[in-house]
Amino acid sequence: MPHARCYALIASTLLVCQTVGAQVIDRELGDFSLKLGTTPSRSMAQGLVTPTSGDSAFHGGLDLTHNSGFYFGQWSPNAGIAPDSTLEVDSYMGFKKPFDKTLGYELGVIRYSYPNTEQIDSHELYAGFRIFDSRIGTAFSNDAGRQDSTLFLDLGGIVPLGFDLRMQYGNHQLDTPTLIEGGSMVSAYNDWSFNVSRPLMGMDMNLMYSGSSLTGADCGAYNGHNTGCETTVTLKVVRSFF
């Protein structure tokens, strides 16, 4: 996995302002294809790396793919520039292979790192299949004190309706139950999210619904895929100026 000096490279050269919108730069380097962008480039990793929170103004990453199907990359959802924010770098590597034009598979590993804190790095294994433009993936991590499993579905572009649909469902098991104020105990919980997006009049429209099986005081034990524990509906509109 990359050393600390690589984290500085991403933080200083690859992170771009969110208001610019989702931009991707492609370059061919011999047998490799390089992508720099403000959204994760990987089909499976894109659904599993930490999503960008609403207050993270600087984010981005790179992806390098060999013609054989081997790839690796880094994605930072937060540069840690704003007050009370922390640099995070999600590094991944894997292999992606098509059987033909309609079927393919992908597998790999992601490492979630927080270079400026004492938080322990975590790892996640993922695998998935592609059927036409749709992808279904699953991931599993066994970190200190917990186990997490995730199911990810990307239906791609639904042509008649003109939008993309993505769904994610996670299950989180705690080795030691968390004691909540009031006497309740939380040892496991689920979370989910649905994202619908489509271009409209030069803008990217994104509608997200997210929630979890925890409510009220039990949300004190939540540390899942979503930015919040309670049910949330978010509408995001992005306009690219260049």
User: What tokens were used for 44?
Assistant: 């499976």
The predicted model scores a pTM of 0.71
pLDDT at 10: 39
pLDDT at 206: 84
Q: Which residues contact 58 (CB under 8 A, 6 or more apart)?
A: 15, 16, 17, 18, 78, 79, 81, 82
pLDDT at 53: 47
- Average pLDDT for runs of 10 along the chain of length 242: 40 38 72 79 62 55 89 80 75 89 89 82 88 87 88 75 84 93 90 87 83 93 89 82 53
User: What tokens were used for 108?
Assistant: 């790999």
pLDDT at 48: 67
pLDDT at 21: 45
pLDDT at 98: 86
Cβ atoms within 10 Å, residue 48: 26
pLDDT at 30: 85
pLDDT at 1: 42
pLDDT at 26: 78
